[in-house]
Structure 1
Amino acid sequence: MSQAFFPLSPSLWAATAAPAPETVALQEDKKADVVIVGAGFCGLSTALHLAERGVRVVVLEAEEIGFGGSGRNGGQVIPGLKYDPSELLAKFGPEKGQRLVDFAGSTADAVFDLIAKHKMDVPHVRQGWIQGSHNPEALKMAERRSRDWSAQGVAARLLDKAETARLLGTDKYLGGWEDPRGGGVQPLSYVRGLARAAMAAGVVIHTRSPVKQLAQVKGGWQAVTAGGARVSAERVVLCTNGYTDGLWPQLKKTIINANSFQIATEPLPESVRRAILPGGQVSSDARNLLLYYRIDHTGRLLMGGRGSFAEPDPADRGAWAHLEGAVAKLFPQAAKVPIAYRWCGHVAVTRDYLPHLHEPAPGLLIDIGCMGRGVGLQTRMGQALAAYVATGDKTALPVAPSVIKPFPFFGLRLAYVSAVIAWYRMTDGGV
């Protein structure tokens, strides 16, 4: 995929990714057992794992492989969910809660195991994830998270201020905690690696094939593309997340498709490189409007965070100014290193910050909601969806399918969220 397929601004990932496998648009009608809409982490993971079970799969993608959030994220592979194990157990009970905890805890493993199994050409590192605590309340959260995951058998550890400063390269946090399961990947290379593995297993992928209609027919479904070609299949799996449109009624109204803005510097001077995240960990902090950062395989500092809901003009560098300011405050040693890339992508956030599954009609399965942890979460979700589609065993799913419930007063959501963001900026405090 060329950078032309990332129109908001050229991304570091588009510039450094492994080549995309060759694909073409759907030109003629086809048949399959399952048709999947969306060639991102979830769609391709589902396709790969179905194909490994002998299921015939066709994937239809509106743009190119990884065009959406799968190719535009920060590349951090973070296990878990927004909620800690004790919260999930309290919310869902000991049996269902533990199943969800086990699922959430396995998301990072799913990514790195697939990279190794399929020998993917994906720069990656797995030295852990650190969550810095910017205030006393966040420090209490770090204590709970470290304690909760330790009780689940994870070698998590609480960090004091000095150790946090040493590991991150900044003294702006009171402390934090470290999860050794986390890591980082070149996300566009990874999603392309998933596509290659799926195609090698027999999956057919058609890009530039936007689906405009899902129609129930005798024997199953037809996915009809904008060009008029269609795929007939017994089952449909819809995996469009932050780029969900009106294909299925009301679905896009169940999420906030927030923008996640990112910047990347030129390669850091060696002296600066040794001072920032010297152990190779990745990090995102505990702010409501979190900052996340890491060093990539080319030695660049990446900084990401929330931004406006409007699509930024690539020529307007002011849209990313808050991230450049964060670099200067957190890592003054890197403040003078030029910014080489600026880009953003959509993140699908649900009302309860949990992944949602829906079965609004027989044979149609929908996955939506990544909450900024999509690399691991959606890879693992694809494994679960494949197991359910192939066997009908609902215990394979981390959460039960639910009824589609749009945000109330959806048309006012941007005003509401903008007000919440303003409040968070005030309560989070300065960097």
Structure 2
Amino acid sequence: MAEPFPLEPSLWAATAAPAPETPPLDRSGQADVVIVGAGYCGLSTALHLAERGIRPVVLEAREVGFGGSGRNGGQVIPGLKFDPDDLVAKFGQERGARLARFAGSTADTVFGLIETHNLDVPHRRNGWIQGAHTPAGLDEVGRRAEQWARLGAPARALDKGETDRLLGTERYLGGWLDGRGGAVQPLSYARGLARAAQAAGATIHGNSPVTGLRRARDGWHVTTARGASLRAERVILCTNGYTGPLWPDLAESIIAANSFQVATAPLSDNLRRSILPEGHVSSDTRKLLLYFRLDHTGRLLLGGRGPFREPRGPADWAHLERIVGKLFPQLGAVTFDYRWCGRVAITRDFLPHLHEPEPGLFIDIGCQGRGVGLQSAMGRAIAEYVATGNAEALPVAPTPVARLPLHALHRVYVSAVIAWYRLNDGGMR
């Protein structure tokens, strides 16, 4: 696959804590479990397995957090696309309520890991605001706030006046506030998880792309591009939006869309006080949602969809820079210091997918744009399942890998849908 442009530096690469030492795998050996992918799910799984006395080895094609885990907006948002009542209607009372509880706890997992392991991660937990840009969106967020509040979450609806004040823009009709949400420096968080996993006994090898996966009588054989291989009883694939051809049909079971982001120069104190003055993070109800926050250096970050293809130059971020000016006219002629993007793994039903296509092989895929919390919590659940065999630990039941019909046409289809939404999504494009 083509590399994102420019590869470095993103805002996060420029401000992250130092990377841990993760030398390439240079000799063959054995492991209790081999984990492919050093993003949030792979690292969380490794950490929680190591804490149970299981010896995992993580193989990463590039470096810790290279993919979406180091290229996202750093918003820690609990929940899924579906609200609690939707999940109960879809899966039944017991399974639906269990999935809702899991989804509602994902932000707790992130901030709990940061505190427990004293991770060197700039973070803030003042809540997430979802702004509604249409009357239909306003009804939607009202229902969402009511459902989560009914389950005990610190959630409430916001009228237009309070939404305007807390966001620093008059572009929304209202919204809701979920006090469980927050923000992290996402690459620092990935690197912190890696250090914690190493301290617990996990081994991580960077620059060790996996090229072969074969099941034999003595277990799974995992081969890397350098020629070194590992044998293990179990293999866990955690590659999400950067999934390749390692397992049949897996890459074709998702749409790996790019999420584009821009970050301004550090804002003056006056401007900081006029935008997200209480430190919330925000995304909205648009089909092509916008998300924005201030980082720990006082820069305004805004993200959204861009071209489906890999970017070719700064012009591919120009629409986001225009949106910043429309949302926050008080910024004037602001300077943009950083532009970057990362892939999001989207499944057909907008739910995380787990697969166990053969004994000893487990697959997690489908971060759905909420990967910071979702994949951190998923790693813990996978580790419990691997360690105990308790299927109740998994938030969703494993299903067969299912290739999207006419997958090659989905890129064309999604590109057309993106263009349509831009024309009909509230006049911000």
TM-score of the two chains, using structure 2 as the length reference: 0.98
Higher mean alpha-carbon deviation, 204-213 vs 7-16, is at 7-16
Corresponding residue for residue 336 of structure 1: 333
Corresponding residue for residue 239 of structure 2: 240
1:11-44 CA distance string (max 9 Å, x none): 0000000001111100101111100000000000
Corresponding residue for residue 28 of structure 1: 27
1:429, distance to aligned residue in structure 2 (A): 2.1
1:8, distance to aligned residue in structure 2 (A): 3.0
Higher mean alpha-carbon deviation, 37-46 vs 214-223, is at 214-223
Corresponding residue for residue 321 of structure 1: 318
1:282-328 CA distance string (max 9 Å, x none): 00011000000000000000000011012112xx2210011101100
1:7, distance to aligned residue in structure 2 (A): 5.0
CA distance in structure 1 between the aligned counterparts of 2:133 and 2:290, rounded to whole angstroms: 11
CA distance in structure 1 between the aligned counterparts of 2:131 and 2:339, rounded to whole angstroms: 24
Runs of at least 5 residues in structure 1 that lack an aligned partner in the other structure? none
1:155-182 CA distance string (max 9 Å, x none): 2110011100000000000000000000
Identity %: 66
CA distance in structure 2 between the aligned counterparts of 1:108 and 1:100, rounded to whole angstroms: 14
Verify the 8 A CA contact 1:157 1:177 in the aligned structure 2: yes
Corresponding residue for residue 281 of structure 1: 280
1:368-416 CA distance string (max 9 Å, x none): 0011100000000000000000011100000000011111111111111
1:400 to 2:397 alignment:
yes
CA distance in structure 2 between the aligned counterparts of 1:80 and 1:61, rounded to whole angstroms: 28
CA distance in structure 2 between the aligned counterparts of 1:269 and 1:74, rounded to whole angstroms: 21
Corresponding residue for residue 428 of structure 1: 425
1:131 to 2:130 alignment:
yes
CA distance in structure 2 between the aligned counterparts of 1:334 and 1:14, rounded to whole angstroms: 25
Verify the 8 A CA contact 1:242 1:257 in the aligned structure 2: yes
1:61-119 CA distance string (max 9 Å, x none): 00000000000000000000000000001100110001100100000000000000000
CA distance in structure 2 between the aligned counterparts of 1:189 and 1:402, rounded to whole angstroms: 33
1:372 to 2:389 alignment:
no
Q: Report SS of the residue matched to 1:274.
A: helix
Higher mean alpha-carbon deviation, 326-335 vs 183-192, is at 326-335
Verify the 8 A CA contact 1:108 1:181 in the aligned structure 2: yes
> Which of 386, 389, 395 is the aligned partner of 1:389?
386
Aligned letter for 1:229?
A
Distance of aligned partners of 1:423 and 1:5 in 2 relative to their CA distance in 1, 3 Å threshold: closer
Corresponding residue for residue 118 of structure 1: 117
Corresponding residue for residue 90 of structure 1: 89
Corresponding residue for residue 410 of structure 1: 407
RMSD: 1.1
1:208 to 2:217 alignment:
no
CA distance in structure 1 between the aligned counterparts of 2:66 and 2:5, rounded to whole angstroms: 7
CA distance in structure 2 between the aligned counterparts of 1:8 and 1:202, rounded to whole angstroms: 31
Verify the 8 A CA contact 2:259 2:306 in the aligned structure 1: yes
Corresponding residue for residue 358 of structure 2: 361
Aligned letter for 1:108?
A
CA distance in structure 2 between the aligned counterparts of 1:5 and 1:171, rounded to whole angstroms: 33
Verify the 8 A CA contact 1:8 1:311 in the aligned structure 2: no
Corresponding residue for residue 77 of structure 1: 76
Verify the 8 A CA contact 2:238 2:365 in the aligned structure 1: yes
Verify the 8 A CA contact 1:60 1:207 in the aligned structure 2: yes
Aligned letter for 1:380?
A
CA distance in structure 1 between the aligned counterparts of 2:216 and 2:200, rounded to whole angstroms: 28
CA distance in structure 2 between the aligned counterparts of 1:111 and 1:324, rounded to whole angstroms: 30
Q: Report SS of the residue matched to 1:345.
A: strand
Verify the 8 A CA contact 2:5 2:311 in the aligned structure 1: no
1:352-373 CA distance string (max 9 Å, x none): 0000000111100000001110
Distance of aligned partners of 1:335 and 1:344 in 2 relative to their CA distance in 1, 3 Å threshold: farther
1:422, distance to aligned residue in structure 2 (A): 2.0
CA distance in structure 1 between the aligned counterparts of 2:99 and 2:233, rounded to whole angstroms: 28
1:6, distance to aligned residue in structure 2 (A): 8.1
**How is 1:172-191 mapped onto 2 (pairs within 5 angstroms)?**
172-191=171-190
1:9, distance to aligned residue in structure 2 (A): 4.4
Aligned letter for 2:62?
E
Aligned letter for 2:65?
G
1:232-271 CA distance string (max 9 Å, x none): 1000000000000000010000111000000100000111
Q: Report SS of the residue matched to 1:43.
A: helix
CA distance in structure 2 between the aligned counterparts of 1:337 and 1:237, rounded to whole angstroms: 44
1:219, distance to aligned residue in structure 2 (A): 2.9
Runs of at least 5 residues in structure 2 that lack an aligned partner in the other structure? none
CA distance in structure 1 between the aligned counterparts of 2:350 and 2:334, rounded to whole angstroms: 36
Verify the 8 A CA contact 2:4 2:311 in the aligned structure 1: no
Distance of aligned partners of 1:129 and 1:391 in 2 relative to their CA distance in 1, 3 Å threshold: same
CA distance in structure 1 between the aligned counterparts of 2:71 and 2:339, rounded to whole angstroms: 11
CA distance in structure 1 between the aligned counterparts of 2:196 and 2:205, rounded to whole angstroms: 15
Distance of aligned partners of 1:406 and 1:423 in 2 relative to their CA distance in 1, 3 Å threshold: same
Verify the 8 A CA contact 1:9 1:342 in the aligned structure 2: no
1:140 to 2:173 alignment:
no
**How is 1:214-233 mapped onto 2 (pairs within 5 angstroms)?**
214-233=213-232
